[in-house]
Every structure is written in structure tokens, then in C-alpha cells.
């Protein structure tokens, strides 16, 4: 099962949960227990051949 990122609309905390792709309901916030959470767009990178492709997030010049 994939790991998804969520944000609590009540307290603002971002958190991760392992959730099935077909699950429609979002998990409650682990900090305040609120059920008003939303799934966030996550960053990812892909691998081609023997090297890693550019990441979909982060600064254009890379990290230092």
C-alpha cells in the first residue's frame, strides 16, 4: 500500500499514513483527532537506467 501525505484543516499539521489506493475517506489527524483532513500532492522521483532522474520537487539547482 502507498504512503500518502495529509494535512489537518483544524490544526494545520502535515502527516503521512499508509492507505489503500481505493480508500475514499481520509484518516483523522494524529495530533488533534480532527476528521477534517485532506490528501496532499506528494513529491516523487523516478529512476531510469542506472541513474536517478530529476525530482519533481525541490529547488531547480538541487540541494546543497
Given the candidates 3.40.50, 3.30.565, 2.20.28, 1.10.3470, the CATH classification of the domain at 3-44 is: 2.20.28
For the whole prediction, is pTM greater than 0.85?
A: no
What pLDDT, on a 0 to 100 scale, did the predictor assign at position 49?
A: 64
* Structure-model confidence comparison of residues 31 and 56, the more confident one: 31
Separation of alpha carbons 41 and 52, rounded Å? 21
C-alpha cell at position 33: 483527532
Lowest mean pLDDT among 9-13, 40-44, 54-58: 54-58
pLDDT at 29 over 90: yes
pLDDT at 17 over 60: yes
pLDDT at 33 over 90: yes
The mean per-residue pLDDT over the stretch 23-38 comes to: 96
Separation of alpha carbons 16 and 5, rounded Å? 4
Amino acid at each position: 500500500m502507498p504512503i500518502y501525505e495529509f494535512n489537518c484543516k483544524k490544526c494545520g499539521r502535515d502527516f503521512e499514513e499508509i492507505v489503500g489506493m481505493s480508500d475514499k475517506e481520509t484518516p483523522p489527524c494524529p495530533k488533534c483527532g480532527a476528521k477534517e483532513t485532506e490528501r496532499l500532492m506528494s513529491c516523487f522521483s523516478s529512476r531510469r537506467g542506472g541513474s536517478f532522474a530529476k525530482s519533481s520537487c525541490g529547488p531547480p539547482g538541487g540541494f546543497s
